[in-house]
Structure 1
Amino acid sequence: MTWDQISILGLLSVTVVMFIWNRWRYDVVAGIALLAAIYLGIVDVDRAFAGFSHPAVITVACVLVISKALQNSGLVDIFLRVLAGARRSATSQIAANCGIVGCLSAFMNNIGALALMLPVTIRDAKKAKRRASKILMPLSFASLLGGLVTMIGTPPNIIIATIRQENLGQPFGMFDFAPVGLAVAVCGLLYIVTIGWRLIPVNGQEEAQDDRFQIARYLTEVRVTEGSLLINSTVGGLEKICENEVTVMAIIRHKRNRLAPSTAEKILEHDVLILQGDSESLQPLFASPGLVQVGDGDDDADKDAASDLLQSEEFKVVEVVIMPNSMMEGVMMRDLRLHDRYGINLLAVSRQGSTPMFRLARIRFRIGDVLLLQGADKTMEQTVSALGCMVLFSKARAFAIRTKSYVTPGVFALGIAAAAFGLVPVQIAFATTCVALILLKAVKLRDAYRSIEWPIIILLGCLIPIGEALHTTGATELISNGILSVAFDIPLWFLIALLIVVSMLLSDLIHNSPTAVLMAPLALSLAEAMQISPDPLLMAVAIGAASAYLTPIGHQSNTLVMGPGGYNFGDYWRMGLPLDIVIVSVAVPMILWVW
């Protein structure tokens, strides 16, 4: 074993451990790994950043932009009408929602398809009075299954296709994944609809959607009377007295409402303040002389002020979920200063279906956290988008989406056709599609940049040179020879099953993209050592890398539904493990038959 082989295998081992440890985000880990590979002499300096020009990276970025345009195309309204009749039973509702998200994810990013259907599904669950937990995990799994069908359905397929082109001169085509992927997706969806959703444990912490936050018990109305120390102080000063654990939702002054007042707003005598916060946080206020609680008084008009405000046309309370790569991820509430910067108030946080037991100001936000935000109607949608969140439910009118409902799918279809018929390479076809959609104003340029998951792009750009180094140093040949020496007469079906299972396990622990980057060279080396076509082995890696069903961290779709569904970490394997067995059982014979 040479020094380069020892170095690359040691570096990869440390990298995988860091991915699993999850102390730093995966793009940071990938960047550290690339720099380490350069300093160790495994990756040439001239090739260090060649991964960012790789066709797989360009294609993934373009698919993300196209997914954003599809989200803006008004498809939600169409789905609402189609799904209205599917609420009669849980099975029909799950079948309809999963079928649609599966079809969408075959042609757009998995998370984009899930984000498109998540508000629709939650709204349907509310109307049918069903637990969201029984529907959201199946929806996430269906988004992953649908991605197996086409080359652009999931990043592992794109990576495998381009790696095949680099090594064999010809990539997998747009629909080369369909024979195996469609069979796996159909069987997986049948399992989810008939058996899978019944295996999801009933979480005792999950509450009905309307009662998730129980805001009413945290609303307090107080009147500022003569002699109060709060007179002529500011809203920001009041919140500071309560260590920023209390929010001033509104000031009622001379029968006029000042909603979500700024921190510079002065508090005057006779003001009625509507405050949100738990009883412990409010205690410093009641130590102030001249402050009385309206709820204990006899002014009926003021007594119902909070209730009236919640129905105000200007006052909007929205329920949002933190999306992957949101600016809020990993940040504490006090550091965001939502009120100062954006003029909105954070009323409550729900994590895994229950309210965290620690104080709001100390919460460090995570992907999938559900937040209740209050602010002005005019700016709320723009603010939610800037924060990287998605509206799940609005207590006022739903936000409207809409642009170019027919233009976007039409332009996208032309791009798919150009790639499928080999007129231009897929990355060129989709880059052209993106430019066309921007020129046609189907997606704003600002939204196009925001829609690209830059951590994924960094991850791929950094790991692709390391994946190439596995081959150039001979490490993959060393591993494949070791496998074959232990099991020289290993049958092909067993090898395919082994590649699928190993890729599945890696994908559950790290991420599907690095799994594909690291496992594809091994598949090529095994095929060369056995003197067989690499296609069945590459297809096995593609299926396994895209199948992360055992944990919420394997794929961002699983992470995204964790909060709204109220799931625990250990809930996923209950439905995911049998699904993995179904996938292996279907994929192995299909790969042998087709490839």
Structure 2
Amino acid sequence: MDSQQMMILAVLGLTVAGFLWGRFRHDAVALAALVACVLTGLVPVETAFAGFGHPAVVTVACVLILSRALQHTGAVDALARRVLPSQAGQVPAVAALMGLGAGLSAFMNNVGAMALLMPLAVQLAGRLKLPPGQVLMPLAFGTILGGMVTLVGTPPNLIVAGFRPESTFRMFDFTWVGLPVAAIGIAFVALIGWRLVPARRPSGEAPFETGAYLTELRIPEDSKAVGLTLRGFEDALDGLDIMVLALVRGTTRQNNPHRGRKIKAGDLLIVEAEAKALTESAAQHGIALDGLSAFEEEEDDDEIVLREFALLPGSALIGRSARQLQPRSRWGVSLLAISREGQRPRGRLGSLMLKSGDLLLLRGTPALLAEFARDMNCVPLDTAPVSVPDKGKAIAAAGIMTVAILASAVGLVPAAVAFAAGVLATMLTRTLPLREVYTALDGPVIVLLAALIPVAGAMQATGAADLLAGGLVDGLAQGNTVAALVVVLVVTMVLSDVMNNAATAAVMAPIALGIAAQLGAQADGFLMAVAIGASCAFLTPIGHQNNTLILGPGGFRFGDYWRLGLALEVVIVAVSVPMILWVWGV
């Protein structure tokens, strides 16, 4: 092992450790790895930022924009209404929902597909009288499975395509393996696997589990709660499942206060409760939510509603507090409570830093809430707003995406050019407002991809990838080609469960090429194993953004994913290995 190999392996080890630690964003870790490679001479200065012009990065950016146009025009909503059965039983309904999610994710951003279908999943759970998680987790897994089917289904596919030695994979080259894997995976989950999802039912009569909200109740002078003990206050709300966690009086906060302590006007009670309990307690005792009396509504009192929203990955709210956001002054809505991972968050409501997957209980008019959700990238859980402001633009958006896909599929132009032309057509036809073209880009994903591509190239150039490949071949596969294919697939799966899937593909693709070279095997099959494995992030809520998104709405805990996820990954290995051997050979 020479000095350059030692340096790149050290950088790689620290990068993987940074991804696993989770303290810093993935794009920051990837950028740090790139800078380290440039400073140590592993990546030439003149090619350090070539990743930003890489076809995979350009294609991902363009697909994100075209996906946003499909969402904005309502084209996907219209498709969902026509495809999903309204009266079917559980198995066909869940299978149809997963199939639609997978179909959309094959051609558009899978987080966007998940966000569009989440409200429908919650409504379906209510109709079938199921815990929401038993529909949300299958939907999340279905949208992840759909990414395997096409070149543009997920960023890892595009990264893997960039490592193909002779030419690139075309649009539907992934379909030969990805489609059977997705179809059998969906069938398994819809028929059997959903039973492995923990049935976390709400304690009240709400149709879906949202977990415990943390909120603050201000006690005004005329409140019926004044003079009651904390025990008496809770007893008076018997059946509403409200728990007082702390009492703030003046500048003093008392955690777990004695239940015999009397409530005074001006006190602030930090409580854990469900959404329904919050509104009923406010009505019964004249308590102020978010500093606004429950009875001091705006003039259009009948238009004020409470609505629950899930915070999507990439939202501008992430990493900010309610006090910093000032939602009432900026949007005219009130943030009443927050729920995280089905548990109460720690700290004061106003200073709590928001995270992806948090549930927000907001209050305001439907129009203002819709504007807030659109600006801040949130998805409502209790309604599925369907809006087609311009049928012509919806058809145009769908047509543009279709033409871009076909142009790439038949080899008329490379995928990056086809989808860039689609973005140009989107801008010219205004199917997406020009102000939203660049906001549709997922900056962290773009930076992560662009930063890791040169790092992966350095792994190949220094021979470090071949070195790691030799260790895997000799240590685990014992020189057997089929065993080596399984090792690549399983190792990629394991990394994808704890790392970003695009980062996993960038790390594993050069290693897979090294393994194929050492065994004298075809590289395509090993690259396909990386593509499939990178999409198999089913064991944890952090492996994929869609898993994170359902954490709060499903009332899930960190360890709730592996039971269905592990069974599904076993099915995928059993299906994908024979298909790779048959289609691509090794």
Range into which the TM-score falls when normalised by the shorter chain? 0.7 to 0.9
Which position in structure 2 is the counterpart of 1:188? 185
The alignment partner of 2:316 has SS state of coil
Q: Give the alignment partner of residue 400 of structure 1, picking from 359, 368, 387.
A: 387
Which position in structure 1 is the counterpart of 2:35? 35
| Aligned partner letter, 2:6 | I
Q: 1:39-84: CA deviations, max 9, x gaps? A: 1111111111111111100011111111111112323244235434
Q: Distance in 1 between matches of 2:346 and 2:262?
A: 14
The alignment partner of 1:380 has SS state of helix
Which position in structure 2 is the counterpart of 1:228? none
Q: Distance in 2 between matches of 1:503 and 1:286?
A: 53
* Cα separation, partners in 2 of 1:296 and 1:406, compared to 1, 3 Å: closer
Report % sequence identity: 41
Q: 1:494-536: CA deviations, max 9, x gaps? A: 1111100000001111111011111111111222222222001
Q: 1:107-162: CA deviations, max 9, x gaps? A: 11111111111112112223443211110011000001111111111111111112
The alignment partner of 2:198 has SS state of coil
Which position in structure 2 is the counterpart of 1:79? 80
Cα deviation for residue 563 of structure 1 reads 0.9
The alignment partner of 1:374 has SS state of strand
Root-mean-square deviation (CA), in Å?
Answer: 3.1
TM-score (norm 1): 0.82
Q: 1:157-200: CA deviations, max 9, x gaps? A: 11111221xx32x1011000111111111111111011111001
Query: Are residue 109 (structure 1) and residue 109 (structure 2) matched?
Result: yes
Cα deviation for residue 435 of structure 1 reads 1.4
Q: Distance in 2 between matches of 1:489 and 1:399?
A: 56
TM-score (norm 2): 0.83
Pairing 1:432-447 to 2, within 5 Å after superposition: 432-447=421-436
The alignment partner of 2:163 has SS state of helix
Q: 1:392-432: CA deviations, max 9, x gaps? A: 235xx946353422111111111111101111110010011
The alignment partner of 1:406 has SS state of helix
The answer on whether the counterparts of 1:317 and 1:372 sit within 8 Å (CA) in structure 2 is yes
Which position in structure 1 is the counterpart of 2:239? none
Which position in structure 1 is the counterpart of 2:21? 21
* Cα separation, partners in 2 of 1:522 and 1:305, compared to 1, 3 Å: closer
Q: Distance in 1 between matches of 2:414 and 2:520?
A: 29
* Cα separation, partners in 2 of 1:146 and 1:359, compared to 1, 3 Å: same
Which position in structure 1 is the counterpart of 2:360? 371
Query: Are residue 459 (structure 1) and residue 440 (structure 2) matched?
Result: no
* Cα separation, partners in 2 of 1:282 and 1:337, compared to 1, 3 Å: farther
The alignment partner of 1:85 has SS state of coil
Pairing 1:517-556 to 2, within 5 Å after superposition: 517-556=506-545
Query: Are residue 352 (structure 1) and residue 338 (structure 2) matched?
Result: no
Query: Are residue 144 (structure 1) and residue 144 (structure 2) matched?
Result: yes
Which range is displaced more, 423-432 or 194-203? 194-203
Q: Give the alignment partner of residue 202 of structure 1, picking from 199, 202, 206.
A: 199
Pairing 1:306-345 to 2, within 5 Å after superposition: 306=295, 312-345=301-334
Q: Distance in 1 between matches of 2:120 and 2:565?
A: 23
| Aligned partner letter, 1:199 | L
Which range is displaced more, 343-352 or 544-553? 343-352
The alignment partner of 2:488 has SS state of helix
| Aligned partner letter, 1:37 | C
The alignment partner of 1:405 has SS state of helix
The answer on whether the counterparts of 1:63 and 1:108 sit within 8 Å (CA) in structure 2 is yes
Pairing 1:488-503 to 2, within 5 Å after superposition: 490-503=479-492
| Aligned partner letter, 1:285 | G
Cα deviation for residue 358 of structure 1 reads 4.6
Q: Which runs of 5+ in 2 are unaligned?
A: 224-247, 254-259, 269-281, 287-292
Q: 1:347-405: CA deviations, max 9, x gaps? A: 122222354465322422111111111224443322222222222235xx946353422
Query: Are residue 410 (structure 1) and residue 399 (structure 2) matched?
Result: yes
* Cα separation, partners in 2 of 1:221 and 1:78, compared to 1, 3 Å: farther
The answer on whether the counterparts of 1:381 and 1:399 sit within 8 Å (CA) in structure 2 is no
* Cα separation, partners in 2 of 1:105 and 1:310, compared to 1, 3 Å: farther
Which range is displaced more, 444-453 or 53-62? 444-453
Which position in structure 2 is the counterpart of 1:89? 89
The answer on whether the counterparts of 1:188 and 1:582 sit within 8 Å (CA) in structure 2 is yes
Query: Are residue 575 (structure 1) and residue 556 (structure 2) matched?
Result: no
Larger radius of gyration: 1
The alignment partner of 1:465 has SS state of helix
Which position in structure 2 is the counterpart of 1:267? none
Q: Distance in 2 between matches of 1:308 and 1:382?
A: 19
Which position in structure 2 is the counterpart of 1:268? none
Cα deviation for residue 327 of structure 1 reads 1.4
Q: Distance in 1 between matches of 2:186 and 2:294?
A: 49
The alignment partner of 1:360 has SS state of coil
The answer on whether the counterparts of 2:119 and 2:380 sit within 8 Å (CA) in structure 1 is yes
Q: Distance in 1 between matches of 2:261 and 2:579?
A: 61
| Aligned partner letter, 2:180 | A
The answer on whether the counterparts of 2:77 and 2:386 sit within 8 Å (CA) in structure 1 is no
Which range is displaced more, 552-561 or 400-409? 400-409
Cα deviation for residue 559 of structure 1 reads 0.5
Which position in structure 2 is the counterpart of 1:275? none
The answer on whether the counterparts of 1:122 and 1:392 sit within 8 Å (CA) in structure 2 is yes
The alignment partner of 2:577 has SS state of helix
* Cα separation, partners in 2 of 1:449 and 1:242, compared to 1, 3 Å: farther
* Cα separation, partners in 2 of 1:413 and 1:222, compared to 1, 3 Å: same
Q: 1:216-252: CA deviations, max 9, x gaps? A: x988896879xxxxxxxxxxxxxx9988x9xxxxxxx
Q: Distance in 2 between matches of 1:461 and 1:280?
A: 58
Q: Which runs of 5+ in 1 are unaligned?
A: 226-239, 246-278, 288-292, 298-303
The alignment partner of 2:307 has SS state of strand
| Aligned partner letter, 2:387 | A
Cα deviation for residue 283 of structure 1 reads 4.4
Which position in structure 2 is the counterpart of 1:592? 581
Q: 1:532-575: CA deviations, max 9, x gaps? A: 22001111111001111011101101101111111110000010
Q: Distance in 1 between matches of 2:61 and 2:465?
A: 28
The alignment partner of 2:266 has SS state of helix
Which position in structure 2 is the counterpart of 1:63? 63
Aligned residues: 530
The alignment partner of 1:402 has SS state of coil
The answer on whether the counterparts of 1:174 and 1:419 sit within 8 Å (CA) in structure 2 is yes
* Cα separation, partners in 2 of 1:489 and 1:562, compared to 1, 3 Å: closer
Q: Distance in 2 between matches of 1:375 and 1:242?
A: 29
The answer on whether the counterparts of 2:210 and 2:555 sit within 8 Å (CA) in structure 1 is no
| Aligned partner letter, 2:533 | G
The answer on whether the counterparts of 2:181 and 2:572 sit within 8 Å (CA) in structure 1 is yes
The alignment partner of 1:361 has SS state of coil
The answer on whether the counterparts of 2:311 and 2:355 sit within 8 Å (CA) in structure 1 is yes
Q: 1:16-41: CA deviations, max 9, x gaps? A: 01100001111111111111111111
Q: Distance in 1 between matches of 2:261 and 2:172?
A: 60
Which position in structure 1 is the counterpart of 2:266? 285
